[in-house]
């Protein structure tokens, strides 16, 4: 795309799905989407276990239902947030107003920073609750792989959301730096 305001090309062009899917921002968002599915899916499917002498299921993370609820809630809401911002990313080239583009980029940065923080809190919380879980609460060791997967992908999600924060901030800086090293020595903005 041409370097228009806030990284967008000329408004009103045809949507190119191949170019859209090759953008780093889109790939990071899809990766975050998959990670959120893994986290909430593993907790929903195997995050609740019971002892041999009980019928009621409890959260695998130290029998603390808040840990499972947090993981599921953050995972589902991050999943929905990814879908919303994927739609915004697809619609972004059609936005002609610089003010609207600025609002979209700033909301993306703010929401991504918020999710990076929530995933950090979730990773710390789930890790702590998994660490203090008692072996007698889960003698058959059911759901251990799912719990470790939820913790691992919570950790990975911190970095994908952080990259979504940094990508709109760093890309224009890198682009302007690369342009200054173009033949002729000056960027096109300075000539």
For the record, the structure tokens of 119 come out as 């995933």
What pLDDT shows up at residue 7?
A: 56
Q: Which residues pair with 59 in a beta bridge?
A: 48
Q: Percent helix, strand and coil across the chain, each rounded to 5?
A: 70, 0, 25
pLDDT of residue 35: 98
pTM, two decimals, is 0.81
Comparing CA positions, the residue from 107, 78, 81, 113 lying closest to residue 92 is: 107
- Residue carrying structure tokens 């979209």: 104
- 29: Cα separation from own chain's centroid: 6
More confident residue, 171 or 176: 171
Q: Give me the phi and psi of 9, to 5 degrees please.
A: -85, -165
For 29-75, the pLDDT digits (tens) are: 999 999 999 999 999 999 898 877 888 889 999 999 999 999 999 99
Angle at 146 between CA 142 and CA 147, to 5 degrees: 90
User: Which of the given ranges, 8-12, 131-135, 155-159, has the highest pLDDT on average?
Assistant: 155-159
Q: Is pLDDT at 188 greater than 50 in this prediction?
A: no
Burial of 43 (0-12, 13-18, 19+ CB in 10 A): buried
- How crowded is residue 125: how many other Cβ atoms within 10 Å of its Cβ? 19
């Amino acid at each position: 795309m041409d370097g228009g305001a806030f990284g967008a090309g000329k408004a009103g062009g045809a949507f190119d799905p191949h170019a859209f899917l090759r953008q780093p921002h889109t790939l990071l968002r899809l990766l975050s989407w998959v990670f959120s599915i893994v986290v909430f899916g593993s907790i929903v499917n195997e995050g609740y276990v019971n002892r041999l002498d009980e019928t009621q299921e409890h959260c695998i993370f130290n029998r603390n239902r808040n840990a499972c609820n947090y993981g599921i809630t953050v995972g589902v809401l991050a999943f929905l947030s990814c879908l919303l911002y994927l739609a915004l990313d697809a619609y972004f080239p059609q936005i002609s107003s610089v003010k609207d583009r600025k609002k979209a980029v700033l909301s993306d940065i703010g929401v991504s920073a918020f999710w990076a923080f929530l995933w950090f809190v979730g990773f710390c919380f789930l890790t702590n609750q998994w660490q203090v879980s008692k072996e007698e609460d889960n003698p058959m060791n059911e759901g251990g792989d799912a719990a470790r997967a939820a913790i691992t992908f919570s950790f990975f999600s911190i970095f994908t959301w952080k990259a979504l924060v940094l990508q709109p901030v760093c890309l224009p800086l890198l682009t302007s730096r690369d342009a200054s090293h173009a033949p002729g020595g000056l960027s096109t903005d300075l000539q």
